[in-house]
A = this chain, B = another copy of it.
Amino acid sequence: MQEGKRVKAISIGLLGLGTVGSGVVKIIKNHQDKLIHQVGCPVVIKKILVQDLHKDRPVEIETGLLTSNADEILRDKEIDVVIEVMGGVEETKDYLISALRQGKHVVTANKDLMALHGSELLTVASEHGCDLFYEASVAGGIPILRGLVDGLASDRITQMMGIVNGTTNYILTKMSDEGRSYDEVLKEAQDLGFAEADPTSDVEGLDAARKMTILATLGFSMHIDLDDVKVCGISSITEEDLRYGKQLGYTMKLIGYAHREGEKVEVSVAPTFLSNNHPLASVQNEYNAVYVYGEAVGETMFYGPGAGSLPTATAVVSDLVGVMKNLRLGVNGRSAVTPQYPKLLKDNEEQFSKYFLRIHVQDEVGVFADITAIFAKYGVSFEKILQLPIKKNETSEIVLVTHKASLTNYDKILLELYDLKAVKEVKSAYRVVRKSL
């Protein structure tokens, strides 16, 4: 910042004033000194798009700042940067494309939008010399995207595992710590505001899948679509599963898993038993973490709050600082790097995992031999077997942890298990990840 020279303020248009939007207003207001110190000029919020002009807000807003007409932001030539924290996909996408076409830089916290249309938006941004930053779209306050793009710039990332949904991690932590049922804990989470009234997107793994799409695209430098991510949620996990996990030294987490081998990748979201010594196993409650394995760096992990008004707003304003630094240097729109590799997905026979299986069988002679014969047929051996007391109705429970099996063989084994007359039900089946890779 040159002294004695009056520097023009940067003008912001804010789309949305919910919890994250209010956080952005607060941080820009409270940290004006730091922002001026870092980028050399003041930051002013010029206009805020809201649905209801008269609603009570958790922050003090000057009258006249609010508008319900998006054009007052998108067509205002004085607005340099549009911050999008309103959510939604199609209409929001149109707004942002309109903003970029008019040379406005964009910061967004919108994972749905970036997972579905990130590639198109980044292209438009680049064509118009605009920055489009979206750190807040994955893992809220954790600067993971910067970590991947800048911090590990010189490394080849081969694996990313993320606890990227706070709601499900809260539910699984409570179920595990307190031995309570999924339904009971979900209800409590809803009462406490940790889960939505309609929790589908969280508990069925869709939210996590969107974030993994963004992470995998950046980390593997390969355009991954949401449809490429195999998704399984947590709604059918039972207290019994978690209890067996504990006996075996495992912790259950909803894990977004992205793995690269050679030129091919796989991306999935599924409930997973982690060995207790895995760095992700100790990530509790609503916290998020992303574990990254790079060929050179080895294991790293980024941990922090995955959501919340101020954490997410911190990531948004940090992106804004990035835009403003680029503005000062006159280099906007040149930091995005297009994917280096064409998309190549692993086939099922190239995807390997250990599995935990809990099976209810007719308690009769030879059942166990029949079951193990199926696994042997596909070359899958066992790491652990739990012998369990006989239950009512002449049913026994068998718990198995396999060594690595391909997804193809695993699917075939499941089918053949169901064909066995003595197998009443495969109660549950989960991926298992131990610390050693």
Contacts and interface: CB of A to CB of B under 8 A. Distances in A.
A294 interface: yes
Interface in A297-325: 297-305, 308, 310-311, 313-315, 317-318, 320-322, 325
Interface stretch (A139-147, A161-169, A252-260, A404-412): A139-147
Given A151-B146, A152-B143, A329-B331, A303 B305 contact: no
A77 interface: no
A297 B146 CA distance: 16
A296 B299 CA distance: 27
Contacts of A298: 141, 304-305, 308, 310-311
A282 interface: yes
B337 A314 contact: no
Contacts of A66: none
Nearest to A305: B298
A237 interface: no
A27 to B, nearest CB: 6
Contact of A317 (B153, B221, B295, B329): B153
A316 B308 CA distance: 34
A75 interface: no
B318 A152 contact: yes
A202 B221 CA distance: 38
A135 B298 CA distance: 17
A287 B291 CA distance: 14
Interface string A334-356: 11010010000000000000000
A236 interface: no
A300 B300 contact: no
Interface string A93-120: 0000000000000000000000000000
B331 A154 contact: no
Nearest to A33: B340
Interface residues of A, number: 58
Contacts of A311: 296-298
Contact of A152 (B314, B322, B329): B314
Contacts of A303: 279, 299-303
A13 interface: no
A246 interface: no
Contact of A300 (B23, B154, B304, B308): B304
A150 B147 CA distance: 10
B314 A305 contact: no
A434 interface: no
A155 B296 contact: no
Interface string A17-42: 00000010001000101110110000
A406 to B, nearest CB: 29
Contact of A147 (B147, B296, B305, B321): B147
A180 interface: no
Given A154-B320, A155-B314, A34 B340 contact: yes
A187 interface: no
Contacts of A314: 152, 154-155, 294, 296-297
Q: Which of A156, A279, A296, A311 has the most CB of B within 10 A?
A: A296
B300 A153 contact: no
A154 B304 contact: no
B151 A317 contact: no
Given A34-B154, A221-B37, A296 B310 contact: yes
B297 A310 contact: yes
Contacts of A153: 38, 317-318, 321-322
A99 B167 CA distance: 52
Contacts of A152: 143, 314, 318
Given A296-B313, A299-B303, A329-B334, 10 more contacts: A34-B156, A37-B337, A37-B340, A143-B146, A151-B318, A155-B318, A296-B314, A300-B303, A301-B303, A329-B329
> Considering the complex of A and B, which 4 residue pairs feature the smallest CB-CB distances, nearest first?
A143-B151, A154-B317, A300-B304, A301-B303
